[in-house]
Amino acid sequence: MSTWTNRAGRAAPLLCGVLAGCMGGAYPARVEIGAPAGAPFVVAAPAGFCVDPASSRIGQQSGTVLLAECAVLEGRKREGSVLLAATVAPVPADGEPPSAPALSLGAIGGAAGRAALSRNGRAAGVEIIEARAEGAALFVHLSDDAPFAGGAVAPEYRRAFVVLGGRVVALSALAPPGADVAALEPALRAFLAALGAANRG
C-alpha cells in the first residue's frame, strides 16, 4: 500500500498506541523515541506533515519514522508531493559523538559511502550529485535507482545527517515519480529545523 495515496486507517490507531509518546490522534505531529536513561528523542513533523504510524518502526532506543502530508493521510488529498523519513540511533558508547560531516563527508563519494547510502546496498546504483557540510549537518543530494519500501519514488532525492540530542539522525526527503523535486530541499530543511527545536538542550 503506497504512502502517497490515502491508506486504510484501521491499523494506525493500534500502532499509534504502542509508539512511546504518540500524540495527536491516529496521525500525530510528533513521536518520542525513548531511552532507558536520559531524555527521549522527539521526532517532530514540520508544518503540514504528520507521522504515519503504520509505516513507522519505533524501538526503545532507535527507530525509523515516516511522515507524509497530513491531508494525504487523513484522506483530504489523494496524492502528496513529499515524503519524509527519519532514522534515529544512539551515538556509539565508545567515545564522544563525532560530527555528522566527520562521519560521512570524506568517504561519501567512494564505493563504501555510496553503498551505505543505497536503498539496496548497491553502490553502482547511487550517484552523488552534491554533498556539503553546513554547521553540524551534512546535506546530500543524490539519486538511487533502487526501489523504496514505502512506495514508488523518484530516483532523485535529498538526505541530511546530524548528531542531535545524543543520537545519530539520518533524514530523507523523497518525491513520487514525476513530482517537482525542487520541493525536497525546503521540506528537508524544515524537518531538520523542527527536530532541532524539539530536542534543544
Question: What are the cell numbers at 79?
Answer: 496524492
Place of cell 519505533: 58
**Contact status, residue 113 vs residue 119, Cβ threshold 8 Å:** no
pLDDT of 34 higher than 50: yes
SS (H, E, C) the chain: CCCCCCCCCCHHHHHHHHCCCCECCCCCCEEEECCCCCCCEEEECCCCEEECHHHCEECCCCEEEEEEEHHHHCCCCCCCCCEEEEEEEECCCCCCCCCHHHHHCCCCCCHHHHHHHCCCCCHHHEEEEEEEEECCEEEEEEEECCCCCCCCCCCEEEEEEEEECCEEEEEEEECCCCCCHHHHHHHHHHHHHHHHHHCCC
- pLDDT class of 25 with cuts at 50, 70, 90: low
Instruction: List Cβ neighbours of 79 (8 Å cut-off, separation of 6 or more).
Output: 4, 5, 72, 176
The pLDDT of residue 129 is: 94
Per the document, the length of the chain is 201
Q: What is the pLDDT of residues 88-105, one digit of tens each?
A: 998 877 655 554 544 556
Neighbours of 105 (CB within 10 A): 17
Cα–Cα distance for residue pair 138/27, rounded to 1 Å: 29
Instruction: Give pLDDT, residue 5.
Output: 34
Least confident of 24-33, 79-88, 99-108: 99-108
pLDDT over 70 percentage in the chain = 79
Question: What rounded mean pLDDT belongs to the chain?
Answer: 81
Contact 188, 142 (CB under 8 A): no
Q: pLDDT, tens digit, for every residue of 140-188? A: 999 999 998 878 899 999 999 998 988 899 999 999 998 889 999 999 9
- pLDDT of 121 over the 60 cut: yes
Give the domains, in start order, of the chain with CATH numbers. Answer: 11-198 (3.40.1000)
Question: Cell 487523513 belongs to which residue?
Answer: 74
On the question of pLDDT at 17 being above 50, the answer is no
